[in-house]
Amino acid sequence: MQKAFKWLDSKKLKYEFHNYKESGIDKATLQLWLQHFPTDKLINTKGTTYRALTDEQKASITNKTKAIALMIANPSLIKRPVWDFGNGKMFLGWDEKELENMRS
């Protein structure tokens, strides 16, 4: 996240940061994100929160309804950052070159 903040500030771009780890996330937002990203990309399958899930919970991420419930209950499962450029374009993660392409 620190790279993302520095990049945004260096470009003098206005942004709104929603810390879903602290403030939570709602079903509607997750449904929108899942229109742009598959569940296995939106969920950070390499993180400690994911590794702590039961095998049954891990297997359930292919079901969008169950994946949404897991992400609401465990916001740390969500890969960061999720970028919404407000023009129908969204991006997941950190790649400076891709971000430059997305915002133009």
6-55 tens-digit pLDDT: 988 998 888 888 888 888 999 999 999 999 999 999 999 999 999 999 99
The yes-or-no verdict on residue 104 having pLDDT over 80 is: no
> What rounded mean pLDDT belongs to the chain?
91
- Tally of domains in the chain: 1
Q: State the Cα–Cα distance between residues 68 and 31, nearest whole angstrom.
A: 8
Domain CATH for 43 = 3.40.30.10
For the residues 70-95, what does the mean pLDDT come to? 91
| Inside any domain, residue 39 | yes
- Residue 100 pLDDT grade (very low, low, confident, very high; cuts 50, 70, 90): confident
For the residues 56-68, what does the mean pLDDT come to? 96
For 86, the domain range is 22-103
| Inside any domain, residue 31 | yes
C-beta separation of 74 from 49 below 8 A? yes
Burial of 8 (0-12, 13-18, 19+ CB in 10 A): middle
